[in-house]
Chains A and B, each alone.
Chain A
């Protein structure tokens, strides 16, 4: 047992752990800066958010330690059980949960509340890994595909029912995992084309767009015909017809399916609407905060945008504003690089796993963290619509920090014992 523990400590991927610690501490500094208004002096005032975050961080470290000590089989064997337990909690939240900011996603336990949807991501990752790593699973089979998509779709739907669209969207990140496990790359391309068409349909007149699509399809056909003689014209015709139909559907979806605030956010992003006092306020103030940071930033605790509350949610979803304002391009680009390094490292770690379970789980971790990073920062710098999900490890909040710690350290633990297993 002793020897095993020594090996584990040696085999832990300390690079990832250091990145984790750096992000968490940097997050705390920025939470302190965002809340700081020159009046509170003690950094350990537990009635303040930065004081509370210290507790969350302490608890996270305990969770990390606990996960490392725990037998990794607990998560591999118990994955379905954990998954079902969290599904149950999601249902419970729907019934008795507390509502904040329009989303019914909080479960109160005493004075504290936790957000089961944050943990559901990890649970889903475990279940998906378990499913796809079982001996009889073959991703080429439709059965497996349906099972995998069901595992992802159930919690996603439950979170959507909580009215927490942002967290529900995170489940889309599993597409990277499925892609790695054999999902046809045309699905990725199809998804990408859909997004592009969606944006274009909102920006350009429908009929002009269809004209453009026609030209593009004919051009593609002509080009490919030269390269390969086996092209069939009906394929391009179908492409054109489907995409044309999609363009028409976009309007209907946009008008009828999306909530008014979601429509506003998209229209603000696309520049179709400018309402700096209303819907556009957050993003505009966020861009001002980041943009005003300049190259080296205004310095720790010197950000006026964040310190004086011009940016709402500046310690949670908009924490990146504080970084941009006070630490400038240096700080914010370093943060982005840290996330990139973390995600790429996780992918590489996943690839070195012998167990399929660990690999799939590792991809899930990388995908989830990347998706959060992509959506959150994209939102604060005005490249994506406002979708309220936290920045992993940096944003204020117990549930989010604990859930990400759990998510990450389960994989770190798996990775540490990758040589023992099998």
Chain B
């Protein structure tokens, strides 16, 4: 006698089963098919703390420290986790205004509410101490220690360069970098970025709902340790660099010194220069702006990026090319005919050596004429093209008009004109008379001071050079690694007897009567050099290239003083000789001369006005 209602149990059970089935489906969806939740849970509980490696240090050639690191703190914020904080107290702690706080929070939120962004960057160790004590009270805030670069000697800014925060473009190009990371922006910091930076590590910590750290995730099996950057051992001699910078104080121009036998750059000055410490930390933005707006362009690396007319120093190259081509002989003589090109008062040169010594303009007019016109001076245009082409190739083998592969970014090639250039420039045709200014290093020739110094080293080595470079090795003290490309000799393929001739001429420039750089003479060091006085829109530039001693040269120096109101012999030559003396003797004995050149500023003030004076070259 079953109650008919008892079959209603199946309805009840049916409802139970349907609900259970729906729940199982829902669970399957949540837990198996939809995998966004695992990610969301990780975002809640995992905090990826980047472990920043310390950046490699930079030493000079004698092991003195040029760049080191100092700890600062970035205050990070995860906007989503910020709640219930006492804004006023927090602002007082950080010494910021409430408006700043709101602005910074908005900025962080705009970036991401889940990911950390920098709230306040580069807080110094001293300022950070009181913040550290209270930071735990503020949900969503934490500190991350970073390192900044400091420069104990405040020199060589253009060599060392600076680091800065990566921008969007860099992040897009290289996924290694994340917002807020630092990267070498210029100088060695940029060219050796990958060696210096090391490798970032990452530590995953667990945090609870109140953002308190709760230990490492899975005992740290996913953590990676940061690998410190490797040190750089630079070729710069910090004492020489300091000395050269002192000489260039208040001047505009460059001093570049190279050890000829190795291609190692001993000093590298582009003036005006600045204290590299100015571009570090929170003051950077302000200082950078001031430097960028400075009319004398202190940020501009003149050594690599200027394209100066070389002036008369180029005559050595002209003589060598002509001798090698066989269009002149070592004892070829040309009359100093001022109708061709202006010159200063001196007897006519009867051989190449004397022509170099006296820097005779008409002589080199004739030399370049023979180079360009080759065998037949009458035929004009066709031969000019052939001659110019040969000349261009020879000049490039000497490091002109070609990019010297120094280990710094943004190196300009300079310019050695070729036939294509003149064909374009003079569509109706050209010949030697159109381009003769190049004979004395004016006209279209453009050379940067690094190429000048490299050329001095080339002459010092009598025919070869090693690409100038600023870093000898990297790694740690025990295990230094070298770069292969800076041990190969580049030959210019000109007979060595001609080089000796050039060296003799350069020795005469300094040591003989009628030489243009007698002021560069040092009693017990045989200095060889060549002056130049380069015309341009303002006062002439004063130029000097030199090396010393004459045999087994230890140093090759190029000095370029912009708008110096005097020739190469007046300013650049004595300054170069001071650098040579400082390097070879360690101490300069000619104190009066040293003082005079350090204190006097011959440079025409900026902005330049076009000079009005008769054409005249030395």
The interface of chain A, by Cβ under 8 A from chain B, is 37-38, 176, 179-182, 185, 188, 285, 287-295, 304-305, 307-310, 324-325, 328-329, 332-333, 336-337, 339-340, 343-344, 347-348, 350-351, 363, 366-367, 370, 374, 377-378, 381-383
Contact = CB atoms under 8 A, between A and B. Distances in A.
Given A308-B45, A381-B30, A337 B38 contact: no
Interface of A, helix, strand, loop or mixed by DSSP: helix
A291 B30 CA distance: 5
A294 B31 contact: yes
A185 B9 CA distance: 12
A38 B214 contact: yes
B286 interface: no
Contacts of A363: 12
Contacts of A304: 41-42, 44-46, 206
B214 to A, nearest CB: 6
A305 B44 contact: yes
A351 B13 CA distance: 12
Nearest to B215: A38
The size class of the interface chain B forms with chain A is 35 or more
A179 B8 contact: yes
B16 interface: yes
A381 B26 contact: yes
Contacts of A340: 16-17, 20
A340 B209 CA distance: 34
A351 B6 contact: yes
A336 B23 CA distance: 8
B45 A305 contact: yes
B16 A37 contact: no
Contacts of A309: 208-210
A6 B595 CA distance: 119
B313 to A, nearest CB: 72
A332 B12 CA distance: 23
Main secondary structure of the interface of B (DSSP, over half): helix
A350 B208 CA distance: 47
Nearest to B26: A381
B45 A383 contact: no
Interface of B: 5-6, 8-9, 11-13, 15-17, 19-20, 22-24, 26-28, 30-32, 34-38, 40-42, 44-46, 206-210, 214-215
Contacts of A370: 16, 19
Nearest to A291: B37
Contact of A329 (B16, B28, B46, B210): B28
B23 A378 contact: yes
B27 A310 contact: no
A370 B45 CA distance: 34
A293 B40 CA distance: 11
Nearest to B39: A292
Contact of A324 (B20, B31, B38, B215): B31
Contact of B12 (A180, A182, A308, A383): A180
Contact of A310 (B16, B26, B45): B45
B15 to A, nearest CB: 8
B8 A180 contact: yes
A291 B38 contact: yes
A73 B30 CA distance: 47
A381 B32 contact: no
A121 to B, nearest CB: 18
B5 A294 contact: no
Contacts of A374: 19
Given A285-B44, A336-B24, 18 more contacts: A38-B215, A176-B12, A180-B9, A185-B11, A291-B38, A304-B41, A307-B208, A308-B208, A328-B31, A329-B31, A333-B27, A337-B20, A344-B13, A351-B9, A366-B12, A370-B19, A374-B19, A377-B23
A329 B5 contact: no
A366 B214 CA distance: 42
B37 A347 contact: no
Contacts of B215: 38
A298 to B, nearest CB: 9
Nearest to B5: A182
Contact of B23 (A294, A328, A367, A381): A381
Given A304-B206, A343-B16, A295 B31 contact: yes
A336 B20 CA distance: 7
A288 B40 contact: yes
Contacts of B45: 304-305, 308, 310
Contacts of A293: 31
16 contacts: A179-B12, A185-B8, A288-B41, A292-B38, A304-B41, A304-B46, A308-B206, A310-B45, A324-B30, A324-B31, A329-B28, A340-B16, A340-B20, A347-B16, A377-B23, A381-B27
B37 A288 contact: yes
B31 A347 contact: no
A344 B16 contact: yes
Contacts of B34: 291
A336 B28 CA distance: 12
B3 to A, nearest CB: 9
Contacts of A310: 41, 44-45, 208-209
A325 B37 CA distance: 10
Contacts of B46: 304
Nearest to B38: A292
A270 to B, nearest CB: 16
A307 B27 CA distance: 21
A307 B41 CA distance: 12
A286 to B, nearest CB: 10
Given A308-B207, A347-B13, A289 B27 contact: no
B36 A180 contact: no
Contacts of B31: 290-291, 293-295, 324, 328-329, 332
Contacts of B207: 308
Contacts of A295: 31-32
A307 B36 CA distance: 20
A47 to B, nearest CB: 20
